[in-house]
Structure 1
C-alpha cells in the first residue's frame, strides 16, 4: 500500500510539473506575440512622428503660404487625399509637413524611390523568433520542442491607416506604380490588404482619421513614373508653384543672416535666372546661393554684391543640374548666368 501511495504521489507530481511547464509554454507564446507586434516601437523604429516635431525649421508663414495650406487642410477635412504637384525646390515638402502637423494627428513619413515596393509600404516578415518548450511526459524522459514564429513588421502605410495618422508620401511619382495597387482599396473601400500576411489580420480597416498628402515633381522631370489613372482619379491635385517675390525673400531671410538689400538682390537674380535658363531654379537654389554669399563676401565699394561673385556662386549652385554633360555645358551655363546677371 505504501508503495502504491508513493507511486500515486509521484504521478501526481509529474502532472503538476507538466501543467506548470504547459503554462510556461503558453506564457512564452503570449510574450512572443506581444514582443513581435511591438517590435518596431521597441527598437525605436516606429514611423509615427509627433506633429509638433515634423514641421521644418525655419518655416515661414505668409498670407500666400497660409492660403495654400488652408486649401490643403480643407480637402483633408473632406476626407480627400491631396496630391501636391510642382517643380523641384518650390517648397512642396515643407508645405505638406506643415499641413499634416496642422491636423494634430501623428505623422508618418515615406519617401518614394525605385526601391519602394508593396512590402516597403505595408510590411513584411522580418526573420523568426524562437523559444524552446520542455515536455516531461514520461518519468525520466524529456521531450524538447523548438517553436519558431515568424515576426511581421508593419511598414509606414500599415501603421498610418491603423493609427489614424497623416501619411506624407514624398516624391510619390518616383516609386513604381505597381507598388501602389494597395492604395486603391485604402481610398475606395477603407481596407488595406497586406500581401504576405496570413490569418485573420491580413487586412486592416482604415482608421477614420487616416489622411494622405503626396508630393510629386512635374511629370517632365527625369526619374518619375506615370501613375495609374484609377488611383490618380481618387486624388485632389493641388498645383504648387514658386511663391511671389516677397514670400521668397522671407523664406531666404529665415535661413541666412544677410541684410535685406542683399536678400533682395539674391532673390531678384534667382527669379531672373529662373526665367532665362532651361534648368529649374527653385527657391532652394536661392537659399543655397545666399548661404554661399554669406561666406564669400564679395561686396563692392557701394556695399552691393559685385557681379563676379554672384556669377561664381550661382554657377556653383546650378552646375550640378547639368552634371554628366561635357565641360562646354558648364561654360555655356556660366555664360548664360553672366548675361542674365
Structure 2
C-alpha cells in the first residue's frame, strides 16, 4: 500500500510540474500576443490622438475661416479625401487640424518628406520576440522548445484605417509618389494592403469612419513631387490662399500682444510686401515681425516709424534669400523700404 501511495504521489508530482510548465508556456504565449497587439501603443507612442488635443491654439474663427472649414468638413461627410493646396504660411495645417478635430474622431498625424516610404505608412517588422517552453511531462526527460515570433508594428496609415481615425497628412507632396501606391486601394476599394506582412492579416478593411486630409504647397515650391494622376483623381482639391486683411489681423492679434494700431500697420505692410516682392510673404511673417516689435521701442501709442519697420521685416524675410550674397540683402532692404 505504501509503495502504491508513494508511486501515486510521484506521478501526481510529475503531473503538477507538467501542468505548471504548460501554464507557464500558455502565459508566455498570451503575453507575446498581448505585446504584439499593443505594438506601437507603448510608452505613449500610439499615433492616435484625441481630437480635443489637436485643435490649434490659438485658432481664429472669422467668417472666411469658418466658411473654408465648412467646405472641408462637408467633403469629408461625403466620404471624399480632401487635398488642401496653397502657398506656404497661409494656414493650411491649422485649418486641416481644426477640420479634423471638428469630426470628433481620433486623429492620426503624418508629416511627409523624402524619407517616407510604404513601410513608413503601413508598418514593418520590428525585430522578433522569443520565449522557451520547458516540457517535463515524461519523467527524466526535459524538452525545451524555443519559439520565435516576428513582431509587426503598424504605422500611421494602418492605424487610421483600422480605427476609423482622421488622417492628417501634412506636406503630402514632399513624399515620394511611389510610397503612395497603397492609397489607391484604400480610396478605391476600401482595402489597405500591407506589403511585407504575411498571412491572412496582410490586408485591412477600411473603417467606414476613416477620412483623410492632405496638405501640400503649390507645385512651384522646391522639394514638391508631382503625384500620380490616378491618385489625385480620387481627391477633392481645396485651394487655400492668404486670408483677407481682417482675418490676418485677427490671426496676428491672437499670437502677439501689441496695440491695435501697431498690428494694423504690420499686417498692411506685410500685405503690401506680398504684392511687391518676388519672395513668399505669408501670414507667419507678420506674426514673427509683430513678435519682434514687442521687444523694440515702437513709440508712443504703438506707433511705428518706417525705419524700425523696415529693419524688422528685413530680418524676418532675409532667410528666404540666404546664401545669395550681401548685395541681395541690400536690394531686399531697398525694396522693403520703398514699399513701406
The alignment's TM-score, normalised by the length of structure 1, stands at 0.95
- Correspondences of 1:1-341 after superposition (within 5 Å): 6-7=6-7, 10-299=10-299, 304-341=303-340
1:199-252: per-residue Cα shift (whole Å, max 9, x none)? Answer: 111111100000000000000000110000000000000000000001100110
Secondary structure of the structure 2 residue equivalent to 1:46: coil
1:159-189: per-residue Cα shift (whole Å, max 9, x none)? Answer: 1011100000000000000110110000000
Alpha carbon RMSD of aligned pairs, Å? 1.6
1:13-43: per-residue Cα shift (whole Å, max 9, x none)? Answer: 4344323322321221122111221132222
Judge which range, 326-335 or 1-10, deviates more: 1-10
Shift of 1:82: 0.1
Taking the aligned partners of 2:36 and 2:213, their CA distance within structure 1 comes to 29
Taking the aligned partners of 2:114 and 2:57, their CA distance within structure 1 comes to 28
Contact 2:82 2:212 (8 Å CA) reproduced: yes
Taking the aligned partners of 1:269 and 1:179, their CA distance within structure 2 comes to 41
The runs of 4+ residues in structure 1 deviating greater than 3 Å are 1-13
Taking the aligned partners of 1:15 and 1:30, their CA distance within structure 2 comes to 22
Shift of 1:8: 5.9
Secondary structure of the structure 2 residue equivalent to 1:39: coil
Secondary structure of the structure 2 residue equivalent to 1:141: coil
Secondary structure of the structure 1 residue equivalent to 2:136: strand
Taking the aligned partners of 2:282 and 2:210, their CA distance within structure 1 comes to 32
1:302-340: per-residue Cα shift (whole Å, max 9, x none)? Answer: 852111111111011111111222222212211111111
Secondary structure of the structure 1 residue equivalent to 2:225: coil
Taking the aligned partners of 1:56 and 1:245, their CA distance within structure 2 comes to 21
Judge which range, 132-141 or 91-100, deviates more: 132-141
Contact 2:262 2:302 (8 Å CA) reproduced: no
Taking the aligned partners of 2:280 and 2:330, their CA distance within structure 1 comes to 18
Shift of 1:256: 0.4
Taking the aligned partners of 1:129 and 1:43, their CA distance within structure 2 comes to 18
Taking the aligned partners of 1:298 and 1:202, their CA distance within structure 2 comes to 62
Taking the aligned partners of 1:71 and 1:279, their CA distance within structure 2 comes to 29
Secondary structure of the structure 2 residue equivalent to 1:126: strand
Taking the aligned partners of 2:325 and 2:137, their CA distance within structure 1 comes to 79
Judge which range, 141-150 or 257-266, deviates more: 141-150
Which ranges in structure 1 are unaligned for 5 or more consecutive residues?
none
Judge which range, 145-154 or 175-184, deviates more: 145-154
1:135-161: per-residue Cα shift (whole Å, max 9, x none)? Answer: 124423322222222111111111101
Judge which range, 25-34 or 240-249, deviates more: 25-34
Secondary structure of the structure 2 residue equivalent to 1:295: coil
Secondary structure of the structure 1 residue equivalent to 2:113: coil
Taking the aligned partners of 1:293 and 1:73, their CA distance within structure 2 comes to 37
Which ranges in structure 2 are unaligned for 5 or more consecutive residues?
none
Contact 2:258 2:302 (8 Å CA) reproduced: no
Aligned length: 340
